[in-house]
């Protein structure tokens, strides 16, 4: 039976459609097309400038036509840039870039491909021609960047980091503030407390200095992930140094590594122990290295219990060979480490071994409670921009395989974390070295594909020629996440109140002002909520002995402005802020 003409036409539809569209774009000529191209090119440059400005300065709030525009993240500008670049690629035949004849769009695309295929892999490898010198330079840059971000952003990410300082500084200053009983004392007292004690010995007694000292310690230790990633990648591919070089660059660029590495939270430090455990398993088949890996994993789990999810990945890695004895040793040493460390830390701080472990299990598993709610199993896929970029994750998928141990250490913990009810991007921090290795392998595969598909038609041509700008946008997106969103204005308000006296204060979201380390001199120190303010009697009792009331701007607008005047408070106009509104008693108004 002869094929129909319709079947023949459908079989060539993608090819015909591509040439039809290219012909249509090529046929659009004249001043209007050139003007549209010029406007699009100028918009791309302007958006790139905005993204770079936000990356460098952290952005801010500007007034545009009487409206406040917040430009603090690169998310929206990069999405608009992606659409603009795609449109400009489709209209590349209309006009050269910025209508300059020496800059044809096709030549810029070719230059981008050469950059990706030739310059980046070669240049990355050249940086580490002398490996330890290259690692030292990259590590120093990453460490100094994290210290800079920590010093210029004094606020707090959540109540967790404030409680860490309440535990360490409470012991340091002899106050022993009460904190949530499911907090393990291991990380605050072993890593944060010594740095703060050194700072205090050199005269740094203020909360700003002590907080920064703890963050510098985390920045320093977390930087060890960089050489560990290099060593692991070299062990995985001893014949191809490009994999290690790219993996180091990717992990250094990663937003979680930099942003949380400038904080006082434990996971940037626990990720070092996880990466070291992975390296131990790669080294040889001896029982001693299995015991070392188990001890390191147990120590990481003592920081945050979720790091125990790497144990199944380690067992699966060992399962590729005869592993029974090594797996048993790893399980035993992991259990001994996490139990021994947790018991000792809890006995010293709480007075009862394993008390924080029991409290955490009871709160999360028995009572099924969460301080921040629950998310669906696909949450980590939904929030990919919060912990990486779509391109790097796609490259990691392309660079993963069962024969690669890093694939187990990347995807197994993510899958297990997805089964737990509560999910946050910071829980993925220990996976970032393995994501970087897999992404580097996927990048090298993409480079090989680009080289082999010079004349590829259809979508292959689009993806090939747009790879360089998408890579650029992905790098900028990661860099745009280097600054951790913190309560900087809250700390500024706490500093303002410390300089204004030591009277009592009622605060909404006390942690945003630094909690008791910043406000311990204010007595009484009361935490209020929007729900409390709706009950006039309860609100009056709560603020009866306070001089100030500090409310979030939205709460002040909805509830505070109507309730607090009847309780004898008015807005303190000497304070200016976007997030907080400060009220002061009328009879005690500051001049």
Average pLDDT (189-197) is: 96
- pLDDT above 50 (res 155): yes
Specify the pLDDT at position 10.
34
pLDDT at 183: 83
**By mean pLDDT, which of 50-54, 144-148, 198-202, 301-305 is the weakest?**
301-305
pLDDT of residue 514: 94
- What is residue 369's predicted lDDT score, i.e. its pLDDT? 64
Exposure class string for 38-69: b at 16+ Cβ within 10 A, else e: bebbeebeebbebbeebbeebbeeeeeeeeee
The answer, yes or no, to whether residue 46 has pLDDT greater than 90, is yes
Tell me, what's the pLDDT at 14? Answer: 44
C-alpha closest to that of 514 among 546, 499, 485, 492: 492
For residue 588, what pLDDT is reported?
56
| pLDDT greater than 50 at residue 13 | no
Give the 3-state secondary structure of 456-470. CCHHHHHHHHCHHHH
Contact indicator for 389, 477 with CB cutoff of 8 Å: yes
Q: Residue 10's Cα: distance from chain center in Å?
A: 47
Say what percent of the chain tops pLDDT 70.
90
pLDDT level of residue 447 (50, 70, 90 thresholds): very high
**pLDDT mean over 495-502:** 88
Region 349-370: what's the mean pLDDT? Answer: 76
Check whether 20 has a pLDDT greater than 70: no
Closest CA to 84 of 480, 106, 464, 76: 76
Q: Is the pLDDT of residue 70 over 90?
A: no
Q: Return the pLDDT at 283.
A: 85
**Spatial contact of 305 and 328, defined as CB atoms under 8 Å apart:** no
Query: Which structure tokens are listed for 406?
Result: 């890093």
Q: What is the pLDDT of residue 156?
A: 96
Whether residue 552 is predicted with pLDDT greater than 80 in this model: the reply is: yes
Q: What percent of the chain has pLDDT over 90?
A: 65
| Range with lowest mean pLDDT among 116-130, 219-233, 452-466, 563-577 | 452-466
Highest mean pLDDT among 86-90, 229-233, 497-501: 229-233
Supply the pLDDT for residue 6: 32
Residue 167 pLDDT > 50: yes
Residue 15: the pLDDT is 44
Helix (H, G, I), strand (E, B) or coil at 31: helix
Q: Say which DSSP state 71 is in.
A: E
Confidence of residue 33 (pLDDT cuts 50, 70, 90): confident
pLDDT over threshold 70, residue 323: no
Mean pLDDT computed over every residue of the chain: 88
Own/partner pairs for 355-364, CB < 8 Å, 24+ apart? 355/181, 356/181, 356/182, 356/183, 356/184, 356/185, 357/184, 357/305, 359/181, 359/182, 360/182, 360/305, 363/182, 364/422
Lowest mean pLDDT among 7-21, 548-562, 567-581: 7-21
Spell out the residues 6+ positions from residue 397 whose beta carbon is closer than 8 angstroms to its own.
438, 442
Query: Is residue 315 scored above 70 in pLDDT?
Result: yes
pLDDT digits (tens, 9 = 90+) for 471-491: 999 999 999 999 999 999 999
Whether 372 has a pLDDT exceeding 50, the answer reads yes
How large is the average pLDDT for residues 178-207?
91
Q: Is a pLDDT exceeding 60 seen at residue 93?
A: yes
Of residues 35 and 434, more confidently modeled: 434
Whether the pLDDT of residue 370 is over 90: the answer is no
């Amino acid at each position: 039976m002869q094929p129909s003409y319709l079947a023949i036409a459908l079989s060539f539809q993608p090819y015909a459609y591509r040439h039809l569209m290219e012909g249509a774009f090529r046929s659009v000529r004249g001043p209007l097309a050139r003007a549209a191209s010029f406007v699009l090119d100028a918009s791309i440059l302007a958006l790139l400038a905005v993204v770079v400005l936000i990356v460098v300065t952290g952005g801010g709030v500007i007034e545009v036509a009487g409206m406040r525009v917040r430009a603090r993240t690169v998310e929206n500008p990069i999405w608009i840039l992606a659409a603009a670049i795609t449109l400009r690629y489709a209209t590349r035949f209309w006009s050269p870039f910025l209508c300059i004849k020496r800059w044809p769009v096709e030549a810029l695309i070719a230059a981008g491909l050469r950059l990706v295929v030739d310059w980046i892999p070669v240049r990355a490898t050249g940086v580490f021609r002398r490996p330890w010198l290259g690692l030292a330079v990259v590590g120093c840059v990453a460490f100094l960047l994290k210290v800079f971000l920590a010093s210029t952003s004094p606020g707090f990410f959540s109540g967790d980091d404030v409680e860490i300082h309440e535990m360490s500084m409470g012991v340091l200053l002899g106050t022993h503030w009460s904190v949530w009983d499911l907090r393990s004392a291991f990380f605050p007292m072993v890593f944060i407390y010594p740095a703060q004690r050194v700072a205090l010995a050199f005269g740094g007694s203020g909360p700003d200095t002590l907080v920064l000292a703890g963050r510098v310690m985390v920045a320093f230790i977390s930087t060890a992930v960089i050489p560990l990633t290099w060593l692991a990648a070299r062990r995985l591919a001893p014949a191809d140094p490009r994999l290690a070089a790219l993996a180091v660059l990717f992990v250094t660029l990663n937003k979680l590594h930099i942003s949380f590495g400038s904080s006082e939270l434990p996971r940037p430090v626990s990720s070092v122990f996880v990466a070291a455990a992975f390296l131990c398993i790669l080294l040889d088949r001896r029982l001693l290295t299995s015991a070392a890996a188990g001890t390191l994993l147990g120590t990481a789990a003592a920081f945050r219990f979720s790091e125990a999810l790497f144990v199944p990945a380690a067992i699966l890695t060992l399962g590729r060979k005869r592993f029974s004895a090594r797996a048993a040793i790893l399980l035993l040493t992991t259990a001994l480490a996490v139990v021994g460390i947790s018991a000792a830390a809890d006995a010293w701080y709480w007075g009862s071994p394993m008390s924080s472990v029991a409290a955490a299990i009871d709160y999360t598993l028995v009572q099924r409670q969460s301080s921040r709610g629950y998310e669906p199993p696909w949450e980590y896929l939904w929030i990919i921009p919060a912990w990486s970029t779509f391109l790097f994750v796609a490259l990691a998928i392309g660079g993963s395989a069962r024969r690669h141990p890093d694939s187990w250490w990347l995807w197994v913990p993510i899958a297990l974390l997805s089964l737990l009810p509560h999910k946050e991007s910071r829980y993925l921090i220990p996976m970032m070295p393995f994501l970087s290795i897999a992404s580097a392998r996927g990048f090298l595969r993409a480079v090989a594909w680009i080289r082999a598909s010079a004349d590829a038609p259809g979508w292959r041509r689009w993806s090939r020629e747009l790879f360089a700008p998408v890579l650029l946008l992905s790098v900028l997106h990661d860099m745009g996440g280097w600054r951790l969103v913190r309560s900087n204005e809250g700390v500024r308000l706490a500093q303002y109140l410390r300089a204004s006296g030591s009277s009592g204060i009622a605060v909404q979201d006390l942690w945003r002002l630094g909690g008791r380390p910043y406000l311990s001199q204010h007595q009484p120190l009361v935490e209020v909520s929007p729900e409390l303010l709706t009950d006039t009697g309860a609100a009056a009792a709560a603020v009866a002995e306070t001089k100030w009331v500090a409310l979030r701007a939205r709460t002040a607008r909805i509830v505070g402005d109507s309730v607090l005047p009847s309780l004898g408070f008015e807005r303190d106009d000497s304070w200016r802020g976007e997030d907080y509104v400060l009220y002061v008693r009328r009879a005690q108004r500051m001049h």
